[in-house]
Structure 1
Amino acid sequence: MRKPFKVILTLCVLIAAISVIWYIKSYSETDQSRLTLFGNIDIRQVQLTFHDPEHIAQMYVKEGDQVTKGQLLAIQDLARFQYTLDSAQAKMDAQQQVVNRLLNGTRPEDIRRAKADVKSAQAEVAYTKKELQRLQSLVKKKLTSKESVDRARSEYIAAREKMHALQEQLDLAVIGPRKEDIAAAQAILKANESSLKLAKKVWQDGHLYAPSDGIIQDRILEPGDMANSQSPIYTLALVNPVWARVYVSEQDLGKIHQGMRAQIYSDSYPDKSYSGWVGYISPTAEFTPKAVETVELRTSLVYQVRVFACNAQNELRLGMPITVSIDLTATEDIKTKATSCTGSL
């Protein structure tokens, strides 16, 4: 009776030992095939401000509202900006007319008028010249005074100078404006155009738009408050792309690389996993000891890793604690974000 009992006992011990060895081996293989990391969904914030100082006229969103890129969030009082814009527009229009006048040259009507003035001046010169000659002949015969001759000479000289001035005006009218004058007028026009663009930009900056998809985390100011570039209006929490910030030890750093597939788990949805991929591995270690002398200290170094997540249902919230599991045996990497979230992982 004792012999069969010993045989059975030996078999039971042997089976138990084999089971323990199989369990340990299986656990070891499973543990080595996956890398588990812990962290949080990264919180990324943007402080939204106006560029120029002015009172807030209207605000369209509040805390907790989800906004999309390009959505209008708030407007400043635009009256002062509009006055500046109208003034810049008027100055540019006026200078444009100056440039057009110079480029078009002198009108035919003005040239004809200038020619008529020159002919009139020529006739005046001819008359005063004859009158001077007549008085000079009379003064020789002592039939007139020298004062009359001097007065006639002055009138002749004045008429001649006037004719020369009118002739120069006619020549300039025919030639047209100088290139330097046109260039100067065009330069002023360009400066006015820049002033107009700046005025339009200032007016446009009086409208606050969402720079990206996100959730309004804080509404800091209210309508009527004075806003400027140093006074945030909203705090916007960015939700796209979503990534988990985790840390990997130096010992495990060589096991992962960018593009590796990953699964993300959260306590809020314990029965659900989210597909992801390693998108960034920090090139520098954190919490580095001042003196690295032993293997134990060297292996305590950690590196930040970003694991991007497919969050179509918006269930992964900013700051949420998560667990990341990376399959170390996978051979195919994720190439792009588009294929990783739309294709099969």
Structure 2
Amino acid sequence: MKKKVLFIIILALIGLAIIYYIYIKQEKKEVGILTIYGNVDIREVNLSFRIPGLVKIMKLEEGDIAKKGQIIAYIDKNQYTDQLNEANAEQNVQKANLDKLLAGTRAEEIAQAKALVQEREATLLNAKDFLEKNEKGYKAGVVSQQEYDNSVKQRDEAAARLSSSREALVEALNGPRMEDVQAAKASLKAAQAKSSSLQKTISYTTLNAPSDGAILTRIKEPGAYVNAGEPVYTLAINSPKWIQTYVDEIDLGKVRPGMKAQITSDSFTNKIYSGYIGFISPTAEFTPKSVETPELRASLVYRLRVIVKDPENELRQGMPVTVKLKIGSNENDKTSGKNK
């Protein structure tokens, strides 16, 4: 009798275990609902200046909220301002030089060049007369060889100076050469480019938040010298917020990008967050330990990215969540309204 009762009890326990297992499976896989599990994946970005410099102001503390485009830090711009002033002065010099060439030779300069030619023509004439006298004296033996050689030298020097002044007069009459004008234009463009580059550099002395987010880490303090690209803040991007989850190969055909999702968390059990599938990985991978379940152990899965709406910013980095997808209907696609 006791053995019979014990046997009945064992059968009852086995039956209860089977019923419980079926119940759990049904709870996990509601009719028309695919339930998967994942974690909140908030992206982080290290913020840095594009140029080196001395940190002057750090406006935000850890935990502060930054808005997209907001200025959150400055570095000292004095050295770059000095360089810009110097570049602007050089630009003005090059512009004045070009304007001078384009204006051509002034009448006063032409008159001065003509007067110089006349003066040197007279000088050459006098040098020739003096040489002629010394040549006669040298032949008569009353002028030394040194005196004669000096007069020849004076005549040659006067001729060279006259030739130079005549060339200068021709240049004055013809105006600047085209090559000189092109060279002056190129010099001005180079000076302008340098000024423009320094103006852009000065704009890099401010650090702007690339998107809305919260400051996770304030790495540097005012007075610190930083190199270009050296992080000064770590920003957690609040929007869009992602859920990283996985689906097994059997259920892969049931999901698609744009499919609407409902997300719940253990921290806010009575609240449902809306979202949609934003990305499905094209390659399979083994189930990560963070979301491993007995059914998926040692199975190949595909990574999903679910975009979730969290206007009150309640979901935190790494928080485990449950994602439910209503399968079998295109009406739940985020883009279904546009496709109709």
TM-score normalised by the shorter chain: which range applies? 0.7 to 0.9
Q: For the Cα contact (< 8 Å) 2:52–2:226, is it kept in 1?
A: yes
Amino acid at match of 1:246: T
Partner deviation per Cα, 1:214-233 (whole Å, 9 max, x = no partner): 11111122112222246421
Partner deviation per Cα, 1:106-131 (whole Å, 9 max, x = no partner): 33321221122122223434455566
2:334 alignment partner in structure 1: 334
2:15 alignment partner in structure 1: none
Q: Distance in 1 between matches of 2:139 and 2:230?
A: 98
- Measured after TM superposition, the shift of residue 103 of structure 1 is 3.3
Q: For the Cα contact (< 8 Å) 1:63–1:217, is it kept in 2?
A: yes
1:189 alignment partner in structure 2: 188
Moved more, 62-71 or 153-162: 153-162
Amino acid at match of 1:105: G
RMSD between superposed Cα atoms in Å: 3.6
- Measured after TM superposition, the shift of residue 297 of structure 1 is 9.0
Q: Unmatched 5+ residue regions in structure 1?
A: 1-19, 290-295, 341-345
Amino acid at match of 2:309: C
Partner deviation per Cα, 1:116-175 (whole Å, 9 max, x = no partner): 212222343445556666x48976997985878776655444333222110101112222
Q: Distance in 2 between matches of 1:257 and 1:197?
A: 49
1:71 alignment partner in structure 2: 70
Q: Distance in 2 between matches of 1:308 and 1:262?
A: 9
Amino acid at match of 1:329: G
SS state at 1:222 partner: coil
In the alignment of these two chains, the number of paired residues is: 307
- Measured after TM superposition, the shift of residue 71 of structure 1 is 0.8
Q: Distance in 1 between matches of 2:281 and 2:194?
A: 45
2:10 alignment partner in structure 1: none
Q: Distance in 2 between matches of 1:145 and 1:231?
A: 85
2:95 alignment partner in structure 1: 96
Q: For the Cα contact (< 8 Å) 2:55–2:222, is it kept in 1?
A: yes
1:176 alignment partner in structure 2: 175
2:314 alignment partner in structure 1: 315
Q: Which structure 2 residues correspond to residues 1-345 of structure 1 after superposition, within 5 A?
A: 31-129=30-128, 135=133, 154-229=153-228, 231-287=230-286, 300-332=299-331, 333-335=333-335
TM-score, with length taken from structure 2: 0.76
Identity across the alignment (%): 41
Amino acid at match of 1:334: K
Q: For the Cα contact (< 8 Å) 2:248–2:296, is it kept in 1?
A: no
Task: Summarize the Cα distance change of 1:174–1:267 in structure 2 as closer, same or farther, 3 Å threshold.
Answer: farther
Partner deviation per Cα, 1:43-63 (whole Å, 9 max, x = no partner): 200111223333321111111
SS state at 1:100 partner: helix
Q: Distance in 1 between matches of 2:101 and 2:211?
A: 49
Q: Distance in 2 between matches of 1:131 and 1:226?
A: 76
Partner deviation per Cα, 1:281-318 (whole Å, 9 max, x = no partner): 011122279xxxxxx99981111101112333333344
Task: Summarize the Cα distance change of 1:145–1:229 in structure 2 as closer, same or farther, 3 Å threshold.
Answer: closer
Task: Summarize the Cα distance change of 1:46–1:118 in structure 2 as closer, same or farther, 3 Å threshold.
Answer: same
Q: Unmatched 5+ residue regions in structure 2?
A: 1-18, 289-294
- Measured after TM superposition, the shift of residue 95 of structure 1 is 2.7
Amino acid at match of 1:215: A
Q: Distance in 2 between matches of 1:214 and 1:51?
A: 20
SS state at 2:160 partner: helix
SS state at 1:88 partner: helix
Q: Distance in 2 between matches of 1:141 and 1:317?
A: 114
SS state at 2:61 partner: coil
SS state at 2:256 partner: coil
TM-score, with length taken from structure 1: 0.75
Partner deviation per Cα, 1:175-194 (whole Å, 9 max, x = no partner): 23333333434444344334
Amino acid at match of 1:86: N
Moved more, 222-231 or 232-241: 222-231
